[in-house]
Structure 1
Amino acid sequence: MHRFGEATRRVRIRRFASNASSYRVLVLGGGAGGQAVSSALSRRLGKGAVGVVEPASVHYYQPMWTFVGAGAKRFEESRKDMSDVMSSGVDWIKTAVTQFEPEKNRVATQDGKTISYEYLVVALGIQLDFHKVKGLAECVGKDGVSSNYSANTVRMTWKFLEDFKGGEALFTFPNTPIKCAGAPQKIMYLADDLWRKKGMRGNVNISYYSSLPVIFGAKKYAATLNQVAKCKDVNLNFRHNLVEVKGKSKEAIFENLDTQEKKTVKYDFMHVTPPMSPPDILKGSPLSDAVGWVDVDKETLQHKKYPNVFGIGDCTNVPTSKTAAAVAGQSGVLRENLLAAMRGQALTQKYDGYTSCPLPTSYGKLVLAEFDFNGEPLETFPVNQGKERRPFYFMKKDMMPFLYWNLLLKGRWKGPKMMRTLAHLGMNKR
């Protein structure tokens, strides 16, 4: 039995390794965007035409980490070996990109190789910057500080919540773009519900410190969430950014972004959303804007300078919330536009900014926010999704993981646009 397992593992390694130095399409990144695009394109272009540069051995379904941190899912359910999610039709190049040379249609990699391409898709995700908050990197995962954003710390959230005896509980949102902008408050609502179920909520003071001026960017859902926070007796503190954590004394220091004044807040438990930024390899690269995001047209996802380069997901400067739902909406647009570019045709597919943020407000209820570039609702179901609903909670918890692993990563899910049209019987829902 042991020998059979070893043979299977060796077959997988041979199956994805490649010494090819040129591809019709080279995809950088094996996250949700990279997998969705590479899987779909490999079926259209044939085996060996698509290469994927990805150094990681494990793929995580990160939207599940809210439930992992809240004890509603096991961490193991959120991970799979990269070899199990990589399409059999692509070449997996297990290394990292170190340099972009778009003028020569090639990239350099960490193992010293150069890979050429006809078309490039950049899907490198977003970078967690724990080190940008003084003291945070040293105390996250201990000293009562946790974060659902890291595979290394998400399980500590549940331990801290379960062991909590009362006191000051803080939840933070940084002064940078982040992936899943609703996640900082999702865990807060679940923590509130947990402590109520344990009969200890009266011993807890919950405070939310956000750099934003509002609780949520889309007005319809902000109205609901403001009411949820009020009913849960959450202290809302907007325009406050976490700048330092003193783990030993359990103190958090926040800066008021309007007055630049700083204040020190004691905590017994704190869930931190770290600052985030484009991956270091993109900052200052010829593919990026002044900040470091891949500089693409927000509708076609084609690079503004290099027509044979496309971008998808969190690493781009597309002005919408950075979520897996946005990746799904972008993946079909990118695929069809890239194929059109290959044929010398016009790029006719347009991304409308669709993104989704399912916000659990308790164990059993959820607000399903779906909206476009302008924050206007773009809802799939013919009900008011701005209300807390029980079916949406179980859809998020139990159905969406299946959709992610079996459809999105395989390039067979382009978002709910068709479902939306059918559900609304052709009414004015894009």
Structure 2
Amino acid sequence: MTIRTLTPTLRVSPQIDPSDIAALAASGFRSIVCNRPDGEEAGQPAAAAVAAAAEAKGLRFVHIPVVSGKIDESDAAAMARALAELPAPVLAYCRSGARSEQLAAMAAARGADGGVARFDVVVIGGGSAGLATAASILRRRKGVTVAIVEPSEDHYYQPGFTMVGGGIFTAEATRRGEAGLIPEGAEWIRGAAASFDPAGDRVTLEDGRVIGYRALVVCPGLKLDWDAIPGLAEALGSDGVTSNYRYDLAPYTDRLVRRMRGGRALFTQPPMPIKCAGAPQKAMYLSCHRWERAGLLGQMDVQFHTATPSLFGVAAYIPALEAYIARYGIDMQLESRLVSIDGAAKIAIFEQRRGDDVRRVEERFDMIHVVPPQVAPGFIASSPLAAPSGFVAVDEATLRHPSHANIFALGDVAATTNAKTAAAARKQAPVAALNVLAALDGAEPVAAYDGYGSCPLTVEAGRIVLAEFGYGGKLLPTFPKWLIEGTRPSRLSWLLKEKILPPVYWHGMLRGREWLAAPSPIGSRG
């Protein structure tokens, strides 16, 4: 069998046999494309037989049958989509390899860019920000070609993790398959971005595939840096060391809280920025409330170690939170940062700032809920899109990159000063969608984001302090005070968190339905 190399990620060959698959897999191929119709000649292996052999070896298989002399643009489009989505390197075959080579050339010509698959809009990240933005774009303008680059097969409702750790939600309720959430009209490219070429309007994936765009939306989230605290990664999930910031660990938090009958429980918060600045406290308050209801709070020694200089970043909400700190008898240690942990010995080391002095303090624990430091993903921090912080540089209002007019960023990866929450992404997505469409039209941005973020602080089961604020800590309540007074604990806010927000997320935000999230035009920020 003669295999011809067309590009670093694509090769073509004559007809292959199921018995060839093991050798092809061993040589590094990750995907197979069959361009030959079944039944062209006697003894020809059926595509289904080759597919079964490929899948048994972990290779992806796609059948795009074409007839010699009758290959049209729809065939080329199908081939272009396959080459954009399949893990590379790819082997395409037909009877002699000629049709596969012709089809590959036609697919490349569609991109007019040396084999690069091209789209109007490429979205990096299929999380809440990416899906919501793609859906908003497609709801506004049918026919725009949109690709979503996302490696994960699962999608998580991360605001629900706190409720899982609190014994209110099941973990399964916060997870759904990514495939079922991709907006109609968008293509899901299963892969991870590796680097950006903003001058050439291209993105290179980890497997070598290259994707071109007219507009780029960057929203892959941030990195939970578990390794930044020595001993933490090894200790997680055992010896009383847990974190609601991971899907698989939130149920462990629930088990630890239920089983504890007394002892010392530590809760930590790293330096900003982090996802949902209130989440470290939420875990603590819900745990304390459960111990209080069980009559065990008096046997508990609860400490809150936060690297921040205050309990919360917006002063209006602090009095209500301090009342719960007092009610639960929590020993609050400000400017106290976890620097190492020994799970087996149940010892945590904190670095504490007291005025001009910095000291190290050793604390024993029976349970510790840890929130890891959080940073930009490496491929973002090392890219030409990064701000000095490592996150993607953007204008805080338009979410557009300051140097590249067709690149936008939102969600946790954007170098904005708003709170990094799903509620922020819900408000950012329509702004990004409108401004992306304006960029496709060669126009300036038309919509502005005011920094809105929401943090429903679960101070007890059944009550929430609903913190809603924008840039500069400006209070931005959604509801009138007579309905919900956000600076005080509210039962209605709990109903919102428990019953209303999950379906709003799954059926509204991710579908491009902008309930209570209509974008504001430029110049309307108050």
TM-score by length of 1: 0.92
* SS of 2:471 mapped into structure 1: coil
Partner of 1:354: 452
Deviation at 1:417, TM superposition (A): 6.1
2:505 pairs, out of 388, 394, 404, with 404
* SS of 2:267 mapped into structure 1: strand
Deviation at 1:40, TM superposition (A): 1.7
Amino acid of the structure 1 residue aligned with 2:247: A
> Could you report, residue by residue, the CA deviation over 1:243-262 in whole angstroms, capped at 9, with x for unpaired residues?
00111111110001452210
Partner of 1:300: 398
Aligned residues: 413
Distance 2:275 2:494 in 1: 20
2:219 paired with 1:105: no
Partner of 1:6: none
* SS of 1:103 mapped into structure 2: coil
2:294 paired with 1:230: no
Partner of 2:83: 19
1:60 pairs, out of 150, 156, 159, with 156
2:312 pairs, out of 188, 193, 216, with 216
Partner of 1:326: 424
Amino acid of the structure 2 residue aligned with 1:153: L
Q: Does the CA contact (< 8 Å) of 1:68 and 1:75 recur in 2?
A: yes
Deviation at 1:47, TM superposition (A): 4.8
* SS of 2:275 mapped into structure 1: coil
2:465 paired with 1:367: yes
Partner of 1:316: 414
Partner of 1:3: none
Provide the alpha-carbon RMSD of the alignment: 2.3
> Could you report, residue by residue, the CA deviation over 1:360-385 in whole angstroms, capped at 9, with x for unpaired residues?
11110011110110112111111221
Amino acid of the structure 2 residue aligned with 1:87: P
> Could you report, residue by residue, the CA deviation over 1:271-312 in whole angstroms, capped at 9, with x for unpaired residues?
000111001111121000122100000000000111110001
Deviation at 1:224, TM superposition (A): 1.4
Residues 337-346 or 355-364, more deviating:
337-346
Distance 1:217 1:75 in 2: 29
* SS of 2:358 mapped into structure 1: coil
2:140 paired with 1:44: yes
Distance 2:200 2:350 in 1: 46
Q: Does the CA contact (< 8 Å) of 1:26 and 1:120 recur in 2?
A: yes
2:218 paired with 1:122: yes
Distance 1:311 1:317 in 2: 9
Q: What percent of counterpart residues are identical?
A: 37
1:94 pairs, out of 190, 200, 216, with 190
Distance 2:267 2:516 in 1: 30
2:216 paired with 1:152: no
Distance 1:326 1:221 in 2: 18
Partner of 1:83: 179
Ranked by relative contact order (alpha carbons within 8 Å, sequence separation 6 or more), the top structure is 1
Partner of 1:247: 343
Partner of 2:361: 263
Deviation at 1:325, TM superposition (A): 0.6
Partner of 2:474: 376
Distance 1:429 1:177 in 2: 24
Distance 1:30 1:278 in 2: 16
2:256 paired with 1:173: no
Distance 2:323 2:215 in 1: 48
Residues 332-341 or 66-75, more deviating:
332-341
2:288 pairs, out of 173, 184, 192, with 192
Amino acid of the structure 2 residue aligned with 1:246: D
Partner of 2:16: none
Q: Quick one: structure 1 residues 343 and 29, their matched pair in 2 at CA, closer, same or farther if it must change by over 3 Å?
A: same
1:342 pairs, out of 430, 440, 447, with 440
Partner of 1:207: 303
Q: Does the CA contact (< 8 Å) of 2:242 and 2:250 recur in 1?
A: yes
2:370 paired with 1:272: yes
Q: Quick one: structure 1 residues 296 and 415, their matched pair in 2 at CA, closer, same or farther if it must change by over 3 Å?
A: farther
Distance 2:81 2:345 in 1: 50
Q: Quick one: structure 1 residues 49 and 417, their matched pair in 2 at CA, closer, same or farther if it must change by over 3 Å?
A: closer
Q: Does the CA contact (< 8 Å) of 1:52 and 1:92 recur in 2?
A: yes
* SS of 1:118 mapped into structure 2: strand
Q: Quick one: structure 1 residues 195 and 162, their matched pair in 2 at CA, closer, same or farther if it must change by over 3 Å?
A: same
2:489 pairs, out of 360, 384, 388, with 388
Residues 34-43 or 124-133, more deviating:
34-43
2:511 paired with 1:413: no
* SS of 2:472 mapped into structure 1: coil
Distance 1:429 1:335 in 2: 18
> Could you report, residue by residue, the CA deviation over 1:367-408 in whole angstroms, capped at 9, with x for unpaired residues?
111011011211111122111111110110111000000010
Distance 2:192 2:436 in 1: 23
Partner of 2:104: none
Q: Quick one: structure 1 residues 162 and 414, their matched pair in 2 at CA, closer, same or farther if it must change by over 3 Å?
A: same
Deviation at 1:45, TM superposition (A): 3.8
Amino acid of the structure 2 residue aligned with 1:191: S
* SS of 2:121 mapped into structure 1: strand
Distance 1:58 1:71 in 2: 22
Partner of 1:5: none
> Could you report, residue by residue, the CA deviation over 1:148-172 in whole angstroms, capped at 9, with x for unpaired residues?
0012211110111111121111100
Amino acid of the structure 1 residue aligned with 2:424: A
Partner of 1:183: 279
Deviation at 1:415, TM superposition (A): 4.3
Distance 2:138 2:417 in 1: 28
